Structure 1
Amino acid sequence: MTEKSKALEQGTKEIVIDAKAFGRVAVLCGGLSPERQVSLKSGNRIFTALKDRGVDAVLVDAGDDLVDQLRAVKPERVFLALHGGDGEDGTVQGLLDFLHIPYTGSGVKGSALAMDKCRSKLIWKSMGLPTPEFVMVDKTTDLKAADLPMPCFVKPNGEGSSICTFPVYTREELSSSISRVLGHADQAMVEQLIAGPEYTVAILNGRALPVIRLETDNTFYDYEAKYLSDDTRYHLPSGLTEEKEQELQALSVKAFDGLGCSGWGRVDVMQDDQGRFWLLEVNTIPGMTDHSLVPMAAQAVGYQFADLVLELLRISDEEERSWMPDDISGIATEMS
């Protein structure tokens, strides 16, 4: 049975989509976050695909005057291609909810929680899901007194694309790495480093797509490896046994649903030397460039890029944006 047949058997439907039924679609991209350049690439690729399929699409480089921009365009639907910042943390989603404009991807709460790495991990821990140990620090933290995991990754709490993220192997490196992150963000996460292969799992309409294993000659899968390098290796099939692949897919769906995310996204995971998986983060508006992972996974089950874009628009009408994880006991205590 082919991968596409398996996906169809599991419930993925082949649908003939009327492009005109979407009305005018604003593709929001760019924005003001550090991920602006990647967002512009994603937005332009999505816009081109929509136009090629006959959709009345308008490309919008989101600025401080976004409300005026939307008033001028008068979209009947929005395709969100904003990465990081206000575009991915629930702010723009809240505006669109207020304006009663359907949009792709997660709603306010799912977006906000996924962008906040600390709260994502607290929720996963409360659900019994595996995620590396971590400590949050800011400029007032006494680093000499803090019990910080080593080796570790030091990263901003609310950014994606591995921006300003550093692997740290010695105590001597730790202070300078934290200072660099705190020059960019209010809080830094010092997260236990899991040595082993990295995987990513795309989620589409409630289901996990085939797992991709990432391999790079860089120190880790950083910004350059994600978006610029032609030497990064993407293993699909992942090389996992069928049992381990299904285990990872099920874990990723639980992690995604546990944050109240919907529509589509991507879950990033590490595997240790004992074969255990560890959740890193959820990306609610993954990249859609020619180096991006969700289109790659979707293609493995039969979606060409334009088909994927149209499917994301189609399900934007059907998405459940309420936030009701099944098991969130203990979160209030952890956050207090």
Structure 2
Amino acid sequence: MIKKMIWFLLSAACCWAQGGGSEYERFRFPSRLEGKRLNLLYTASGKTESKGAVLFVHGSSFPSELSAGYRIQGVSWMDVMADAGFDVFALDFLGYGGSDRYDHMVQDDKVDDVPNGGRVVVRDLDIAVDLIRKQLGIDRVVLLGHSWGGTVAGYYASLYPEKVDRLVLFAPIVQRPGSTTWEPSESLFLEQTPQQRMEQFLAMVPEEQEMVLEQDVLQQWGRAWVESDPTAQERNTGSVRYPSDWQKDLYDCWNGNCFFDPEALAVPTLIVRGEWDTAFGARDAEMLFDHMVHVDDKRYVVVGHGTHVLHLEENRWALFDEVLTFIKNEER
């Protein structure tokens, strides 16, 4: 399987390449939009024979290389999965990382008619899944989605269960029964500085608790985030620009109209969250678990002393361990 993938990388007309000092290989391929290309990170299984393929799906505001691909003390979540024997991939949605930007993001046009919410970008996820299945000669992949990316991954698994082996929902955005007065942005892109994002990360920890964000993240993540945005240098504002339709998805989900319906799921599913996560709280997780009525193999795990960005924090190894146990189909 590995030899087949290497042959594909060498023979493809477009663009696996090392970039930015990273060891990840990258493949750019056509998206749902004509002329726009997606980026897929890849690292091969560390074993002689692969145990299958894992595809990470990032959440809003930062791309794969700042999420599952971000190396803390030299090791990323993608690396851990590869060392365990999986061929590991991570998709950048349009507007993020190595994928192309929407025209309105480059032209400073904040009003545009190109939607980029979960109901739409799921088509790009399907393109990536089919590419992996074809090149590895496999029927199914393991999908692992974080935050809004978890919601998209769950929606995808409900549409194409025949293509999904197992599903991991790490702190997804899910439906809430009430209503909120919070309004989403009307702009199709948002801008934020690393300082603003880091302040949000730190504010996720309860006041009486010590900081859990890793020092590598505090010191280096922000700069890497800016470098991931090709528009940042041209704008020279020190901010990152990213799509905003995820806010509309969040608003819809929290007002009882979520595009992802857990009752439509029928694949083995793990729900995992950090103890201190309020965006995906205990009540959210319990309701999600209860509504997965057609999932025979379902698990719900809480990792202590963790927030919505647990994968960038000190207790991330407990998260990695729980996910590996599930996708290997092992018992505790």
Question: Aligning the two structures, in what range does the TM-score lie when normalised by the shorter sequence?
Answer: 0.3 to 0.5
RCO greater where, 1 or 2, for CA within 8 Å and sep 6 or more?
1
Name the larger-Rg structure: 1
TM-score normalised over the length of structure 2: 0.36
